[in-house]
């Protein structure tokens, strides 16, 4: 797997790109959780959001290695 992408002459790590995608997904999921009202049952919402982000980044990276290898 290529660990860097060339965007207009700038080498960008693929982890940065997956992190941006995971951040957008985490924001969408957290807004849905807030709309439903599940944050009332979560002990520490900021910690939960961080863990959700880490899980999404991990899933995207592992999924991309399986898909693009």
Q: For 4-69, list the strands marked E by DSSP.
A: 4-7, 10-13
Among residues 25, 3, 23, 21, the alpha carbon closest in space to that of 13 is found at 3
pLDDT in tens, 29-62: 999 999 999 999 999 999 999 999 999 999 999 9
Please report the pLDDT score of residue 66 as a whole number.
78
Contact 18, 54 (CB under 8 A): no
pLDDT in tens, 5-31: 888 989 999 899 999 999 999 999 999
The model scores a pTM over 0.95: no
Please report the pLDDT score of residue 1 as a whole number.
54
Please report the pLDDT score of residue 4 as a whole number.
84
């Amino acid at each position: 797997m290529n660990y860097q992408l060339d965007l207009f002459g700038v080498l960008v790590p693929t982890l940065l790109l997956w992190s941006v995608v995971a951040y957008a997904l985490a924001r969408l999921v957290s807004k849905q959780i807030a709309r439903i009202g599940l944050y009332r049952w979560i002990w520490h919402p900021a910690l939960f959001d961080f863990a959700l982000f880490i899980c999404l980044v991990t899933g995207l990276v592992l999924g991309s290695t399986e898909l693009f290898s």
